Chains A and B, each alone.
Chain A
Amino acid sequence: MSLFAAAFAWLFDAANWAGANGIPMRTLEHLIYTVVTLIAAGIVGVALGLYIGHTGKLRGAAVLVTGSLRALPTLGLLFLFALWLGIGLTPVIIVLAVLAVPPLLAGTYSGIEAIERSTIDSARAMGMTEWQILSRVEIPLAMPLIVSGVRSAALQVIATATIAAYLPLGGLGRFVFDNLSLRRWDAVIGGAIVVTLLALIVDGLFALLERAVVSKGVRAARDRGLGEAATKRKPIAAEAA
């Protein structure tokens, strides 16, 4: 337990809160990597997911890819691409984005798949174009699960960006790797605690966002107690939040 005391002493030491190697700067770096990665992966993953969910094409391939990527060791992939592409920020972001695509893809297409087929058929019967169906029916109804996919992707990126500091890169992983060989456990564990807190805070914010993006129509139906279909669609994370 004295290790924890030392780690907290390190956390509350003002010296660790200043300069380029301070906790705030490293946290900011970590967040920038995460946001840039999520934007890159989001454009690809969500767009592909919408296409698969709307058309039903390529679904088998998507399931296969998301499943097999889970068994790939992140660490090996990261290091392999670092060697192939050279060690720099861009290759690392590319690898992080590749790892972030599967949860985004899965969240998006399963979000659309979870919608009652009759709802989509009704929209088509009313004369909506395919584009209107996607933007006015499918995306709003799938939103909670899409956000849930972004949430898993964000957590994965935060965790993997920590490992990427080994390469070496900036971010919160620096505290761990800079001090590991020096056996300065207070800073190592302190850094690990900061990463954990960051992950928990981001997770909490996404949990709130998931609740906020439930479509107005679904919420109204739920409030009126017509919630059979609505509760069925409730993303798994909503009840865990």
Chain B
Amino acid sequence: MSWVVSNFEQIWELTVTHVGLSIPPIVLGFLLSVPLGWVAHRYAVSRSILLTVSGLLYTIPSLSLFLVLPAILGTTQLDPANVVVAMTIYALALMVRSAADGFASVEPSVRQSATAVGYSGWGRFWAVELPLAGPVLVAGMRVVSASTVSLISVGSLIGVSSLGYLFIDGLNRQFPTEILAGIVATIVIAVVFDVALVALGRLLMPWTRSGARDKRRRAPVRTEVAA
């Protein structure tokens, strides 16, 4: 504990770096996956292609992706951009499916009613489909945020500093306290992000507040199959 107190400044700095590396992939992942998920939901042909590709991207081990990306992007090996791009790819891989599921969860009759009362395709997307898909999108983003925050650490193995530095330094110095401090700090970030996402969801979707707790189900089982 005394180590944590005396090294608080370093832990704090690494935490800030970690947060800085985590936010861009989470935000980019969301912005890119919503249109892709919509396309996947809308056109059957693209669905299998998009979902297969994202499934395959998610299969690539993170360390490999960090190392292979510089060869593709032309960045240097130690460029934090590699980690950000890699994590964005993972976020997309997870989120495109969630987004497609989210848009699929909108009742077809609701979509037809929106068309009937005069919404154009574009207006219908913003005013009807996106808000109704919201709860599923938030659930997907919570998974993305947790996995991003925990995977960023792996970048430290190739020299991209984050809280992962504490794991490596702690291992080299045979000092479990340092590793524990890193784990705790990582969990704190993950929890703060999770709470922020839930709060954001409630703020933007007031109709979900009525005591209806969002069901966190990772399982691909949908009770309401559109008949």
Contact = CB atoms under 8 A, between A and B. Distances in A.
Nearest to B53: A240
Interface in A50-67: 63, 66-67
Contacts of A236: 97, 220
A73 B186 contact: yes
Contacts of A163: 63, 154, 157
B114 interface: no
Nearest to B180: A80
Chain A binding surface SS class = helix
Contacts of A96: none
21 contacts: A4-B72, A7-B71, A63-B216, A67-B216, A70-B143, A71-B191, A71-B194, A75-B157, A76-B164, A76-B183, A79-B168, A110-B219, A159-B62, A159-B63, A193-B64, A193-B68, A195-B61, A196-B68, A203-B59, A233-B221, A239-B47
A80 B176 contact: yes
Given A71-B149, A73-B167, A236-B220, 10 more contacts: A80-B170, A83-B174, A83-B179, A114-B221, A159-B61, A163-B154, A200-B56, A203-B59, A239-B47, A239-B48
Interface in A2-40: 3-4, 7
A83 B164 CA distance: 16
Given A106-B218, A114-B219, A163-B157, A76 B182 contact: yes
Given A79-B170, A240-B48, A192 B183 contact: no
Interface residues of B, number: 58
A100 to B, nearest CB: 14
A158 B59 CA distance: 10
A76 B64 contact: no
Interface of B: 47-48, 51-52, 55-56, 59-65, 67-68, 70-72, 77, 97, 143, 146-147, 149-151, 153-154, 156-158, 163-164, 166-168, 170-171, 174-176, 179-180, 182-183, 186-187, 190-191, 194, 216-222, 225
Contacts of A212: none
